[in-house]
Amino acid sequence: MLGSVIAIIATTRKQAAEMDKKIAVIEAKMDNMNEDIKSHNQYAKMFSENIPAIKQHMSDVDRRLDSIERKSA
């Protein structure tokens, strides 16, 4: 009986250690994913902030091209 109790305790400790290791791996993966998400969000924010400026620049270029085409015609 004492042997069974000792075996159960040893197994429980081993399983707890394995769970702790798996939890640490999952936490590390989550940290990496969080960094990837932050990087993506920064890119998306930069892109969305620059879209109006790009549209304005394209509009300016279109006007200039129209002006050049009218002068050439």
Please give the pLDDT value at position 29.
98
The predicted-structure confidence for 52-62, as pLDDT tens digits, reads as follows: 889 999 999 99
DSSP sequence for the chain:
-HHHHHHHHHHHHHHHHHHHHHHHHHHHHHHHHHHHHHHHHHHHHHHHHHHHHHHHHHHHHHHHHHHHHHHH-
Q: Which amino acid is at 53?
A: A
Q: Once rounded to an integer, what is the mean pLDDT over residues 1-27?
A: 95
Q: Which two tokens stand for residue 43?
A: 């890119």
pLDDT digits (tens, 9 = 90+) for 34-46: 999 999 999 888 8
